[in-house]
Amino acid sequence: MKKIFSIFILILHFSCSNNEPLPSIIDESEDELCETCIWSEEFNGSSLNNDNWNFETGYGNNGWGNDEWQLYTNNNAKVIDGSLIITAKKESNSIGKRNGSITSSRLTTQGKVTVGPGTRIEARIKGPWGQGIWPAFWTIGANFPDVGWPSCGEIDILEYSGGNPLSNDKNKTNESTQHWSHNGSHASYGNKITHTEPLSANYNIYELIWTNDYIETKLNGKSFHIIDIKSGSVYEPFHKNHFFILNIAVGGNYSGSPNDETVFPQQLMVDYIRVYNL
């Protein structure tokens, strides 16, 4: 979930081409219990587990630092039939920036659940689509309240800017990026991968391999991004614990503005999040 200020790009690892077709992950049966997980959220209850999740509400500072349009509420996230469903929707006939006409939800595990090096994170997610629609599954350093962003570090596992029409490649292209501070400036490094179908068509598997040496991102088992974190300014922010964030933003610096062709409501559907020891 990018915050676009001054950007310093540091290329740390060569990434291969990602034009090969990806396998689709279609509604497969899944184990109800993850016996080998060190933590999992299966969303099997009738409501959100407050031991794991917090709502962040409101408009944030300057649209959460990104000039976003939506109002985050605690009413736009529900647990239904074994999935968390976050819905971005219109509240009036016309839409505008930070005027209450678009609502969504933003959930975090801050202060409750953290992950760090030595883990593999897997999430089964079905995304939204459309111009100005900006879904994200990401992490922020747990020391964020003390050091701020980007010094705390950020890992984007699922992030894309939707487009119109549904066939637009923007709805098929996932991006994984790390953000951190280098010599007092914002640094980032990321790569993207384009699926053969919209990421809203079916559930897909988003995976993060986080070792002491590197962080790797995969979509449906295909690796598309690796960053070396053994030394330099990337070492500290990515050798500390992070917490999870799930949200749908609408509008802003990354996704651009929604328009009259943007279809509402849009939903981010999360079947599970599972964390394993490497």
Residues forming the active site: 154, 159
Cβ partners under 8 Å of residue 244, min gap 6? 108, 109, 113, 115, 137, 138, 139, 273
**Distance of CA 227 to CAs 13, 56, 107, 217, Å?**
5, 29, 26, 9
What CA–CA distance (Å, rounded) separates 139 from 217? 13
Q: CA triplet 243, 72, 77: central angle to 5 degrees?
A: 75
